[in-house]
Chains A and B, each alone.
Chain A
Amino acid sequence: MNLDVKKLFEEPSLIQITTWARGVIENKDARDVVFALANAGSKEGKYVQAWENYVDLPDRVGVPVRAYARISDEPLLSKYVYENEHPDVVVLTNEALVKGNDVLQGMKPGGVLIVNTKRDPEYILKFLKDTTYLGTIGCIDATEVAGHVQTLSGAEGATDASGIGVGVGAVLAGAVVKAKSIVKPENVLSSVQNEEACRYGYDEVRLVTVNTTFPEFKPAPKKPLGPEDLPFAGTVPSVDKENEKRITGNWRSERPVWSKERCTNCLLCWVNCPDSVVVYKTPEAADFTNLKYCKGCGICAEVCPTKAITMVPELDFED
């Protein structure tokens, strides 16, 4: 056989939708977006699947997690995959996800990014490293109108008894079909519990065109790991300082801001921080110097007796 394998397995009508969210607190919202769109596609006789990323760590609060939908006019060839490698649409249920996550990775030319934020698209764009293939960005404050729904119902491949599209997921699904007509808006409306919220997303999303022309799309084929790429027997040196392989700063939606004036150096924050973010050198030099591991849990602000620590939205900071 001498076939062009890339051409042979092409799926030209396949649309890939990827939603990024925060573990536990927004898993359900991410699932709602992809299930609402897939269910709408199903109503139109399209071939669909929707699922949660299996490799992410969904039971850690704040960890970036993903949910996916695939919608096609043709039967799905590549059904058993872990990820959407080349999304047409990326949705963020939380604005801070633009930091520390390559959310546009692999995006197809002319792709769409929808962000749940009250900020302007132009401000969000500042945080995106490579927007070469991004066609449109849309911002909508979904939390304002619908709120996050926290439930384990529907997690781990089980049935969602709480209903699809109750919270921000409905808003964001509406915004998606406004930006890109993947499925008919009326079918999305009839696939969510909260129609009003969905309609709001469709009507109110602020869309901005980013690029209209794109360089040739040539994604590099994935190279499998070889036996020499992993340590002998999978054993690894134990971490006794910092774990560079598990940076957790991108779990953070709010940043602790420390006021030197109010601080009495009681070090309760140093004692309570679960991630050793508060670095204690001398009593005069306790500082929040290691934010790359700060998950934004807020325990430090909670335990501080003098309110020297306040939690500030992460996207207020441009660094």
Chain B
Amino acid sequence: MGKKRLISGVVATAEAVRLADVDVITSFPIRPYTGIMSELARMVADGELDAEFIHADGEHAQLSIVYGASAAGARTFTGSSGVGVTYAMEVYSPISGTRLPVHMAIADRTLDPPGDFGSEHTEAESCRDQCWIQGWAATPQEALDLTLLYYRIGEDPRVLLPQYACQDGYFVSHIAGEVEIPDEGQVKEFLPPYKNKHSLNISDPMIIGAQIEPEMGPPLQYQRYIAIQEARKVIAEAYKEFGEIFGRKYSPFVEEYMTDDAEVVIFIQGAHSVTARNVALKLRNHGEKVGVVQLRTLRPFPTEIVRDVLSRFKAVGAVDNSVNYGIAGDGGVLLSEARTALYGLGDKTKTVGFVGGLGGEVITMEEFYKMYAKLKEIAKTGKVERDSYWLPYEL
């Protein structure tokens, strides 16, 4: 059994990286990720972790270095926030295309301008289609667990894909929560050493990223497509084994809270799902049949599971903590993908979007109350007046 500590998400992430015994770490400071970097630097300096620690000259370099290190067979860690995440955009597709299980922590930060350091999922979601495994932790404990889970999933020979383990900046990254830190023995049992099908080898040289012709595009993209399909199965297996070894059982794709007889639910990911749960509990005490469906894995999107779960309710409110200017329905990714998942089932489940917490602003309990009230109204009247509402101005 591990020991319990009261720590923030950044420390929990660093603890997981230490336990995963990574070989190469690259860093470049940007709030709120900076804390992870500092904690890891301390661990390496104090001899708690034996890893190459490379302070890069920017996020593009950070990702480029772990790209090479992972190709050489190293278990790698990097991380960033906000514009740092988007600055490294070029390198995401080469890493997944080369099938290297680089691990990246994203502690969310709003994109500029102006220089708002509050949390928004926008930057991480803008990278969601680069064939990386991606999901959100809602607590420091989940941040630690997600890190270990993602190394295991990404390095599985059936997957071999990089991962973004995301946590809401400040809310998860900087506010301490109780975290059970596992024993090294448990982690060793869960996470076998990283071994790729192809690693750089001086006696058997290999070319990565050679120029190809357009007709070679489809087969290579298809290889990657099959890998992320396969990841769905591996994710389920990994979460199951994680529960058996560490005793913390998560639902790998969507976590349901008070949904058994619920009529309306909030569909949400990340830190704000904690507030949503607290509001749902309060409303339950007053006899309201409301619940929360927390999305754990954004990529690969669990289409069938989301369809099966959400179709049980009369009304679903998808809460997007991101900006997707001009998107269909004027909501966000969660609204669009929930609607896509529900497509073809008729009009039984009404869907509506709520865009909230922008710039890192708190999504208040009063706002969740208003969302539930709107959902109840939609469930009662069967009428969806508009696709989505921007908080706090439109609700």
Contacts and interface: CB of A to CB of B under 8 A. Distances in A.
A and B form one complex: yes
Interface of A: 55, 82, 224-230, 232-238, 240
Given A237-B207, A238-B205, A238-B207, A232 B198 contact: yes
Interface in B204-236: 204-210, 212-216, 218-220, 222-223, 226
B208 A225 contact: no
B98 interface: yes
A234 B97 contact: yes
B210 A236 contact: yes
Nearest to B204: A237
Contacts of B212: 234
Nearest to B211: A57
26 contacts: A82-B214, A224-B219, A225-B215, A225-B216, A226-B222, A227-B220, A227-B222, A227-B223, A228-B219, A229-B219, A232-B197, A233-B99, A233-B160, A233-B198, A234-B220, A235-B98, A235-B208, A235-B210, A236-B207, A236-B210, A237-B204, A237-B206, A237-B207, A238-B205, A238-B206, A240-B205
Given A55-B213, A224-B215, A240-B205, A235 B198 contact: yes
A55 B212 CA distance: 9
Among A55, A233, A236, A240, max chain B CB count under 10 A is at: A233
Contacts of B226: 227
**For chain B, which range describes its interface: under 10, 10 to 19, 20 to 34, or 35 or more residues?**
20 to 34
Contact of A233 (B97, B205, B213, B222): B97
B99 A232 contact: yes
A225 B214 CA distance: 11
A234 B222 contact: no
A237 B205 contact: yes
A238 B31 CA distance: 41
B207 A226 contact: no
Given A55-B213, A55-B214, A230 B206 contact: no
A236 B219 CA distance: 15
Given A224-B215, A224-B218, A225-B218, A232 B204 contact: no
Contact of B206 (A55, A227, A229, A235): A235
A252 to B, nearest CB: 22
Contacts of B210: 234-236
B325 to A, nearest CB: 30
Contacts of B223: 227, 230, 232-233
Nearest 6 interchain pairs by C-beta: A238-B205, A233-B99, A227-B222, A225-B219, A227-B219, A227-B223
Contacts of B220: 227, 230, 233-234
Given A55-B214, A228-B219, A230-B223, 7 more contacts: A225-B219, A227-B219, A227-B220, A230-B220, A233-B208, A234-B220, A237-B205
B214 to A, nearest CB: 7
A73 B55 CA distance: 64
Nearest to A238: B205
Contacts of A234: 97-98, 209-210, 212, 216, 220
A245 to B, nearest CB: 10
A228 to B, nearest CB: 8
Contacts of B97: 233-234
Interface string B169-186: 000000000000000000
Contacts of B218: 224-225
Contacts of B219: 224-230
B369 to A, nearest CB: 49
B117 to A, nearest CB: 37
Contacts of A233: 97-99, 160, 198, 208, 220, 223
Contacts of B205: 237-238, 240
A269 B354 CA distance: 73
A156 B159 CA distance: 39
A237 B198 CA distance: 10
Interface in B94-119: 97-99
Nearest to B98: A233
A227 to B, nearest CB: 5
Among A224, A226, A232, A234, max chain B CB count under 10 A is at: A234
Contacts of A238: 205-207
B231 to A, nearest CB: 15
A220 B223 CA distance: 26
Contacts of A82: 214
Nearest to A56: B213
B77 to A, nearest CB: 21
B204 to A, nearest CB: 7
B224 to A, nearest CB: 8
A226 B160 CA distance: 20
A82 B204 CA distance: 35
A110 to B, nearest CB: 29
